[in-house]
Amino acid sequence: MSLSEESVSFAQQQGADLVGVVSLTGLDFPTGHRPEDYLPEAKSAVSIGYRLSKGSTLNLPQARNGYVLEFETANQELNRINRELCKFFEQRGYLAFGVPGTASIGDKKRLAADLSHRHLAVAAGLGKFGVNNLVLTENYGSRVRFTTVITTAELAETDLETEIECSECLNCVEICPVDALKGGQAKYSPQEGWRIAKERCYHQIFVKLNGKRCGLCIKACPLNR
């Protein structure tokens, strides 16, 4: 088994639902969000997905407390898997850095992680962006949280592909209470996503809902069912 295959298998044993490996060579990153900012000499990324239960999303907004618990637990699990995978690489003589889950640590207001977990998940073939700017995955739609481990190990790519496509039904656009997804149909790309009106989404989550996650654009997506 190659080191890449071993690392995928290890992450799965730790509880990851989706795992893909991508080389960092040739990928473009925005300033301040580049792998070398966090781990100079980083060569590969392992993208890890953890699914939210279907039941936690279907009955939002009434079921928001349960959804928040599911969301926070998924983030904790992802951070734990990250940590274990970093130790896996270090035990084999490589450096590794577990990028924290989106907005789980630090500056919540930007609603973005240090590196874009979602772009790396798409680059690793785990899914494609939808109009909701979330990664749509084959088995779980957009109810998947992602995290990433970058490492100095040169890993073979997993070469995964996903057939799923956003149907552009616009359910997510219509359900958004603050119109944060309006205009996305014209702007989004399955490989690159798009920039939603994050400030509106931020205000809804951290001001109106007092920090409880919204999740309505996940609930509305027919690909989750």
Binding site for ligand SF4 (CB under 6 A): 130-132, 166-172, 175-176, 178, 180-181, 196, 201, 204, 214, 216-217, 220-223
3-state helix, strand, coil in the chain (%, to 5): 40, 15, 45
Min separation Cβ 181 and ligand SF4, Å: 5
The residue (of 139 and 167) whose beta carbon lies closer to ligand SF4 is 167
Task: Give the residue with the Cβ less far from ligand SF4, 16 or 214.
Answer: 214
Do 111 and 100 touch, CB atoms closer than 8 A?
A: no
* Closer by beta carbon to ligand SF4, 81 or else 214: 214
Task: Find the shortest distance in angstroms from Cβ 16 to ligand SF4.
Answer: 23
How far is residue 117's CA from residue 48's CA, in Å, rounded to a whole number?
Answer: 9
Smallest distance, ligand SF4 to C-beta of residue 169, A: 4
C-beta of 153 vs 217, nearer to ligand SF4: 217
Q: Residue 14 or residue 132: which is nearer to ligand SF4 going by CB?
A: 132
- Length of the chain equals 225
d(CA 143, CA 52): 5
First and final C-alpha spacing in the chain: 35
- Comparing C-alpha atoms, which of 37, 49, 45, 9 is closest to residue 120? 45
Beta bridge partners of 51: 144
When CB distances to ligand SF4 are compared, the closest residue is 130
Of residues 149 and 181, the one with the C-beta less far from ligand SF4: 181
Least distance to ligand SF4 from the beta carbon of 48, Å? 22
Q: Shortest approach of ligand SF4 to residue 77 CB, angstroms?
A: 21
Q: Check the CA dihedral 174-180-182-184 and report its sign.
A: negative
The number of beta carbons lying within 10 Å of the beta carbon of residue 211 is 9
Minimum distance of ligand SF4 from residue 183's CB (angstroms): 12
Residue (of 213, 202, 218, 206) closest to 66 by Cα position: 213
